[in-house]
Amino acid sequence: MSAMRLFGLGALAVLLGLDCLARLLRWRRGGPRALLKEVLFFPVDVTCVEHLFRPGEALPNSCPCPLPHGQETSFTRLLRHLLSANTSLDLCIFAFSNQSLSRAVLLLQARGVVVRVITDKNYMAISGSQISALRRAGVNVRHEMGAVYMHHKFAVLDGRLLISGSLNWTTTAIQCNKENMLVTEEPDLVQPFIREFQRLWDSNDPARHCPHG
Amino acid sequence: MSAMRLFGLGALAVLLGLDCLARLLRWRRGGPRALLKEVLFFPVDVTCVEHLFRPGEALPNSCPCPLPHGQETSFTRLLRHLLSANTSLDLCIFAFSNQSLSRAVLLLQARGVVVRVITDKNYMAISGSQISALRRAGVNVRHEMGAVYMHHKFAVLDGRLLISGSLNWTTTAIQCNKENMLVTEEPDLVQPFIREFQRLWDSNDPARHCPHG
């Protein structure tokens, strides 16, 4: 009887040890599922991105456009991340003129994703800006009223994924400049941006800046 | 005897379990020492930063300047991080005109920290740029020769700490703009910036752009 108990306890100890070891190794790798941490550098060569907007269709091979097809670049990665939003997109952007990024935001809006945009009061009016196209499509846009420049270039998707860096959402930045974008789900980095977005959103509520009566 | 063995094994199992639990909790908190992950937002109010440059002295209370003293802001945090470099500073910066940040880089250079700077070919020459002051002090500076803008704003300290965001190293950015800086030791985020810096450093070697004979 005591030999049985001893055997049982021994087996328990071994199982416990193995379980703890497995958990330890999992945590060492960054948790049950590793949090996304990715860095994108620019400029990139121009490639066809049509297949990202029509994932169910027989693209990219059948697309007739003259651009290179089927290539993964920092820009296709950025577009893929952006288009992965399911519930919300909070975008805080100094300059926004790139048409593919605008198309992606409009697609999200059409899908029912709650899109909020904060932008710069001067740069939203420059030639090629996509801000008025977003507004026409019903996207909720506010512009910064209290700073020289609203110079941020960040987006938070689904309150979970942060995209932030030096890159304005312009074609020059994407195709001609040396730029970076950091993409992460790390909560210690994402949460401060969520709070800052809400702070800027609230402080630039147009209702607060239009005294009545 | 079997009771003693049973007791011993039971105690071992409990100890093993507790040990594993403690390790688990430590890993959950991000490892033996949590990796730094910090976000700084701007603008900030101007405060005295003299004490950061003379840590051994009786500042900040005795500093006679008219600015507020002893206040921690995003800018003092940025300066503290910068001044913590022990061996190397790799700085990739579009616009650099802030005098306190320039003073910090010069102080690091004087301490023997290996400083390398990559900057933009047009912005390095604008009024107030600190690039020529850095060059005069012997800092190794290269400017980007292959892009419309060298628009990065990042620094890597001691091959370990990344500082990156929307903020150019200008007084307007620090005191007047809405800006962000992300500070992290997360290797998955730091390493790509180290590789990109070296790539840009090598590709902008002036020796490669001066054909001989």
pLDDT digits (tens, 9 = 90+) for A50-109: 999 988 776 656 788 999 998 999 999 999 999 999 999 999 999 999 999 999 999 999
- What count of CB pairs under 8 Å joins A to B? 148
B212 in catalytic set: no
CB-based contacts of A69, cutoff 8 Å, min separation 6? A47, A48, A51, A60, A61, A63
pLDDT higher than 70, residue B115: yes
Residue of chain A whose alpha carbon sits nearest to that of B166: A166
Q: How many CB atoms lie within 10 A of CB B196?
A: 20
**pLDDT for A125:** 80
Q: What percent of chain A is modeled with pLDDT above 70?
A: 91
Q: What is the pLDDT of residue A62?
A: 72
- pLDDT surpasses 80 at A199: yes
Does the annotation count B153 as an active-site position? yes
Report the C-alpha gap between A5 and A2 in whole angstroms: 5
Q: What pLDDT, on a 0 to 100 scale, did the predictor assign at position A212?
A: 47
pLDDT exceeds 70 at position B123: yes
Mean pLDDT of B30-59: 87
Sign of CA dihedral A82, A88, A94, A99: positive
> Residue A202 and residue A193: Cα distance in Å, rounded?
14
**Alpha-carbon span B165 to A60, nearest angstrom:** 34
Interface touch A179/B20, C-beta < 8 Å: no
Q: Global pTM? A: 0.84
Per residue in A153-189, pLDDT tens? Answer: 999 999 999 999 999 999 999 999 999 999 999 999 9
Partners of A41 in the β-ladder: A180
Cβ of A149 within 8 Å of Cβ of B176? The answer is yes
Which of B9, B43, B151 lies at the smallest CB-CB distance from A173? Answer: B151
Beta strands in chain A (DSSP E): 37-42, 88-93, 114-119, 140-143, 153-157, 161-165, 179-184
Tokens 């630039």 belong to which residue? A204
